[in-house]
Structure 1
Amino acid sequence: MNTIDRYDYVIVGGGSAGCVLAARLTENPDTTVMLLEAGPHHAGVAALDRPGTWADLLGGDYDWGYHYAPNPLLDGRAVPIPRGRVLGGSSSINAMLWYRGHPSDYDAWETAGAKGWNYASLLPYFRKAEDWEGGATSLRGSGGPIRITCPSDPHPIALGLLEAAAELGMAVLDDCNGPEIEGAALANLTVDAGHRESTARSYLDPALSRPNLTIRTDATAVGLTFDGDRCTGVRYRHDGRETEVRAVAETLLCAGAIASPHLLLLAGIGDPAQLRKHGVPVRAALPGVGRNLQDHPLLMGVNFRARTSLGRVRDNGGGAILNWRSDASLDLPDLHAFVVQGRHATPEIADRFDVTGDVFAISPGLMRSHSIGELTLRSPDPRVSPCIDPRYLSDPRDRDALVAGLDRVFDLAETTALAALIESPAAPDRRLGRHEAEAFVRASCSTFFHTGGTCAMGAGPDAVVDPDLRVHGVTALRVVDASVIPVLPSCNTNAPVIALAERAADIISGTEGRTS
């Protein structure tokens, strides 16, 4: 094994969080950072840059290719869970939606034990990250690294969703990240002049010339190194050889909600019973590693045959979103839908219904799901992916809410605004009764790609990191990514992870409180 130079910080994972940390920590010229990314560099890859064809990236060369465990509640299906394997991580292959959810989503973190993490503490970091096209307000930021825009020429089906919502008496919002979230709005997108704004492009590219930043791509972390209970660095595989890099100050895991807990388990940090089962010596007994796995279930989708050609794909292939309550007694919206400028269907639904030709979708999903899953080891071999199981629909409240979501989509389709665009329903081909709707949910349930919670912040017996993101039971090791989120917010997770990483950079560097 080769050992290379030491760095103050070694960051594992060049994704939504890792690129932010690498850029922010190297603003101090006296701080040295190595960023390890398992995938290739993003520069010059045209496919990563085009907003309208992002879905073609899923399952391809820049995706880890993970699948959730087969789920009997989904007719035994193993749902693919795309994760970016390239600089920028999932911010380089996602749908580019910048949506922050409701303030109470972040207050729930503190309630769950993440002391000091709440909406008030994160709002400055959302604003710090943003270059919002509407300019700075008390809620929005201007001049930050990430350009945030709305569709300038929305697709007719995006406008149709807004008009349909209005016909049903729902609010049409000026800004989905404004003071209210319930209702319809044009999407906020991480798109600048037709180009994707990944964290690699917005944070890392401006920092590439810094002599204190070293980036190694095609470098897969295979283990953590320790001296006693102190994490001293990372072992990684590059060009067929295993190499060790030392972290003088700290090792920062930013590998995401799947790979970060996997690396902890491989290092002997986790549930002792699980570790012993696989012959892994116990370094720190943290039974919460891999537990608390959360994701938002999404129906792919409700498809309609268009009256006329859909024309060219605009923006990210969507352009409008809608939030509403599955039950009027709820305090906040739990359902979320977006439009798709084309078909949106699982293979099982596509086999059952005709979704060829000019078809578009309104796809509802659940942003306040109750089902909780788990990530566990399959093998002590780092090349063997873990078992990842969100246990979709294991809480029947989730099934009931998704069934209600189907009904609301058909309500929208019957408005004057959308009826003018729809020739007929395609998949399903009519409004469904309860039994049929439950079957459709089982066959079409997929993922919003919002895996989180597997290294949750807190102080209880299942907490993995403390509110400074330090791993309990060891030293010089932190986790900074979606895995530390104790309660998944009711939104896309790219914006929350970036805000979390912005704050983490200040915590690590000791500069928190200086962000305006």
Structure 2
Amino acid sequence: MSATEPAYDYVIVGGGSAGSVVASRLAAALPAASVLLIEAGTYGRGVAQIVDPPQWTKLPGTALDWGYRYRASPHVAGRGIPIPRGKVLGGSGATGAMRWFRGHPGDYDAWGRAGATGWNYADLLPYFRRSEAWEGGPSEHRGGSGPLRVTRPSKPHPVASALVEGAAELGLARLDDLNAGDTAGAALANLNIADGRRFSVVDGYLPAWAPPPAPGQVPVGAWAAAPEPPPNLTVLTGSTALRLGFGPGPRCDAVVHTVRGALRRTRAQAGVVLALGAFGTPELLIRSGIGDPAQLRALGVNPVACLPGVGRNLQDHPLLCGVQFLARHRLGLVTDDGGGALMNWRSSRAPRPDLHAFVVQGPHAGPGGAAPDGLAGDPRVFAICPALLGSVSRGRLTVRDPEKTGPDSVEIDAGFLAERADLDTLAEALDTIMDLAATAAYAELIDKPLLAAVGLSAREKEAFVREHCSTSFHPCGTAAMGTGSDAVTDPELNVIGVAGLRVADASVIPVIPAGDIQAAVVAVAERAADLITGKAAWGPAAMPVA
């Protein structure tokens, strides 16, 4: 343990999408308060794959990926499924697909019904709008001057344009804006891309730490000169949080973390905010004694707070890899984020869109699913990937070894296809994708399907779904806010039974929205900052102060 015990007013643990937002907003709103942001990864400077949008697919499996994996399950043909998580400042927002899609407004109204009182679409809309600089300018649903740039493809890739046109042939609406109300239909994707490069939370909220463009790669534009960092904000990378410290009450008053290989106990005089994501936050809570008492004792961890919901309620969007096609000609260079268009529709069981598809401007088969006949590297191969946005199944995270951190510490069960309804709905989605591929919009583009569900029996279709089920990279819900017995935080994001400790990341989401969760996570973090500073329209004036 370091001989010194540095102190800050606020310590934010986790420098991903949520933590970057909270740290930036607190430092700006409370200039007299000192704020420390702790991130286990690096700054990400000098990494071309972070800056150049199409190259993000090269990041999973590198040193900038935590390397988590969903455990093998008979529901997905006995396979383990990799689930990339960004280990870098900006987190998965700096390494993922850059899509900015909130989902249907009704998804957020479901949060209140799940016990997160006061969290519905109307409550979150000001924060969605505050966070974004939408290329179309401000409107009832959109923001025009926020930190995050949001754009559409200016020159859509052919497979993206065909998705929008083909969906219209199937009777789905052409949507001008996916984030302006009803989401049923197809549209060009909203992307966190500006001036030809990724625009992550680091660029928008922590510009002093943003990676510059490579010489000649993109226009310099807004990145010509980084601003000076706020004097009251410290960003510490390469620092892994090991456990939380507690005073009487119990009250969280410190974080124990590594600094250049040594242990340090950093005190938090006003409060600690956890923002390590759907895996890291429950892991740290459990290692610190917050969780199911029986499980904590089995791990040799002294219980601090009895919260059996920690690690439960894991949700993600299962998607199908392997629905691939061979184009009649070469597709050209990959553009935008490698996709560029989305489609949402209702299954036979749903009152609002619960199925979704996106295009991939290249192969997207998943492990063990390469295209046949040596076509895996063929520049004519592309994919249309269906995903289930209304999954009934739930998973969970458990800690196996409290002395370790990250993937070596936990076991994660995604719960994919554990409920028969999810299997049947994804099988139904396959039929829609094949109908889409048969439209006139794709007729001149597609030569033949590869590894697609063509002419399969019901049993063969079920096997296809199980063998090709993967993840949309949208884990959430493992420290859900609410008021029930499994709630981990209250609707003000305070960890129940522990003073001075809040959670502000994807883990607090009680019901996964039917969209990409980046926009939802940023909105949660924006509101968390207002709750802490007392600027929210409801909730406590501030976190407890020692």
TM-score interval, normalised by the smaller of the two chains: over 0.9
Alignment of 1:320-469 (within 5 A): 320-327=341-348, 329-350=349-370, 355-356=375-376, 357=378, 358-383=380-405, 384-428=408-452, 430-469=454-493
The alpha-carbon distance between structure 1 residues 188 and 55, as it changes in their structure 2 partners (threshold 3 A), is: same
Distance 1:434 1:334 in 2: 21
C-alpha deviation, 1:76, in angstroms: 1.0
Q: Which residue of 2 aligns with 1:192?
A: 194
From 110, 129, 141, the counterpart of 1:139: 141
1:211-238 Cα offsets, whole Å, 9 max, x none, are 1001110001111111131111111112
Equivalent residue, structure 1, for 2:544: none
Secondary structure of 1:78's aligned partner: strand
- Per-residue deviation at 1:55? 0.9
| Superposition deviation, residue 352 in structure 1 | 6.3
Q: For the Cα contact (< 8 Å) 1:348–1:443, is it kept in 2? A: no
Q: What displacement does 1:377 show?
A: 1.2
Unaligned runs of 5+ in 1: none
Aligned AA for 1:488?
Answer: I
Residues 402 and 409 in structure 2, CA contact (< 8 A), matched pair in contact too: no
Structure 1 stretch displaced more, 350-359 or 232-241: 350-359
**Are residues 254 and 434 of structure 1, via their aligned partners in 2, closer, same or farther at CA, if it must alter by over 3 Å?**
same
Counterpart in 2 of 1:253? 274
1:351 to partner: Cα distance:
7.0
Could you say which residue in structure 2 is the equivalent of 1:166?
Answer: 168
* Cα drift, residue 355 of structure 1: 4.2
Corresponding residue SS for 2:385 = strand
Match of 1:236 in 2: 257
State the distance in 1 between where 2:464 and 2:340 align: 25
1:318 aligns with 2:369: no
Q: For 1:7, what is the secondary structure of its paired residue?
A: strand
> Map of 1:259-338 to 2, 5 A cutoff?
259-327=280-348, 329-338=349-358
TM-score with structure 1 length normalisation?
0.97
Q: Check whether the contact 2:365–2:371 (CA below 8 A) recurs between aligned residues.
A: no
Contact 2:324/2:449 (CA < 8 Å) preserved in 1? yes
Aligned partner of residue 20 in structure 1, secondary structure: helix
**How far 1:390 moved relative to its partner?**
1.6
2:381 partner amino acid: V
Q: Which amino acid aligns with 1:499?
A: A
How far did 1:385 drift? Answer: 2.2
- Offset at 1:300? 1.2
* Preserved CA contact (<8 Å) 1:346 1:443: no
Gaps of 5+ in 2: 209-226, 539-546
Query: How far apart in 2 are the matches of 1:236 and 1:382?
Result: 13
Shift of 1:442: 1.0
* Counterparts of 2:228 and 2:51, CA distance in 1: 19
Deviations 1:80-100 (A, max 9, x none): 011110000000011000001
Kindly indicate whether the alpha-carbon contact (under 8 Å) linking 2:371 and 2:451 is maintained by their aligned counterparts in 1. no
1:117 to 116, 119, 132: 119
Give percent identity, aligned residues only: 54
Shift of 1:474: 1.0
Deviates more, 1:347-356 or 1:412-421: 347-356
Shift, 1:348, TM fit? 2.1
Deviation at 1:513, TM superposition (A): 3.8
Partners of 1:355 and 1:426 within 8 A in 2: no
> Which residue pairs with 1:151 in the alignment?
153
Shift of 1:301: 3.5
* Aligned-partner Cα distance in 1 for 2:117–2:537: 16
- The 2-side partners of 1:255 and 1:345 are apart by 29
| 1:469 CA drift (Å) | 0.5
Distance 2:375 2:423 in 1: 24
Give the match for residue 226 of structure 1.
246
Check the 8 A contact 1:410/1:431 in 2, yes or no. Answer: no
Does the CA contact (< 8 Å) of 1:354 and 1:427 recur in 2?
A: no
Aligned residues of 1:253 and 1:479 also touching (Cα < 8 A): yes
Farther-moved stretch of structure 1 (400-409 vs 344-353): 344-353
Separation of aligned partners in 2, 1:331 and 1:354: 42
Q: Tell me by how many angstroms 1:429 deviates.
A: 6.9
Q: How many residues are matched?
A: 513
Counterpart-to-counterpart distance in 1, 2:308 and 2:167: 45
Q: Give SS of 2:402's match.
A: coil
In 2, Cα distance between the equivalents of 1:300 and 1:12? Answer: 34
Structure 1's 77 and 220: CA in aligned 2 closer, same or farther, altered over 3 A? Answer: same
**CA apart distance, 1:482:** 0.4
User: What secondary structure, in the 3-state scheme, does the structure 2 residue paired with 1:85 have?
Assistant: coil
- Map Cα deviations across residues 353-382 of structure 1 (whole Å, 9 max, x no partner): 754212000000000100011111101213
The one-letter amino acid of 1:371's match is S
Tell me how far apart the structure 1 counterparts of residues 371 and 437 of structure 2 sit (CA, whole Å). Answer: 23
Q: In 2, distance between residues paired with 1:478 and 1:166?
A: 45
State the shift of 1:427 in Å. 1.5
Amino acid across the alignment from 1:168: L
TM superposition shift of 1:208: 5.3
The 10-residue stretch of structure 1 (505-514 or 371-380) with the greater mean CA deviation from structure 2: 505-514
Determine if the alignment matches structure 1 residue 212 to structure 2 residue 213.
Answer: no
**Alpha carbons of structure 1 residues 420 and 431: separation in structure 2 relative to 1, 3 Å:** farther
Partner of 2:211: none
Aligned CA-pair RMSD: 1.3
Q: What CA deviation, in whole Å up to 9, does each residue of 1:96-122 have, x standing for no partner? A: 000011111111111111111111110
| Residues 112, 458 of structure 1: 8 Å contact kept | yes
User: How far does residue 193 in structure 1 lie from its aligned partner after superposition?
Assistant: 1.1
* Rounded Cα–Cα distance in structure 2 between residues aligned with 1:163 and 1:42: 38
2:111–2:511 CA contact under 8 A, matched in 1:
yes
Q: Which amino acid aligns with 1:66?
A: Y
Q: Which amino acid aligns with 1:112?
A: A
> Which residue of structure 2 lines up, in the alignment, with residue 507 of structure 1?
531
2:164–2:174 CA contact under 8 A, matched in 1: yes
SS of the residue 2:370 aligns to? helix
> What residue in structure 2 maps to residue 75 of structure 1?
77
Q: Is the 8 A contact 1:348 1:444 kept in 2?
A: no
What secondary structure sits across from 2:334 in the alignment? coil
CA positional deviation for 1:47: 1.6
Equivalent residue for 2:88, pick from 81, 86, 89: 86
The one-letter amino acid paired with 1:257 is A
Counterpart position of 2:508 = 484
Letter in structure 2 aligned against 1:345:
A
In structure 2, give the amino acid aligned to 1:364.
Answer: P
Q: Distance in 2 between matches of 1:313 and 1:483?
A: 33
Aligned residue identity for 1:282 = P
- Opposite residue 171 of structure 2, the aligned amino acid is G
Q: Distance in 2 between matches of 1:353 and 1:284?
A: 57
Deviations 1:430-477 (A, max 9, x none): 342211111111111100111010001011111000111000111101
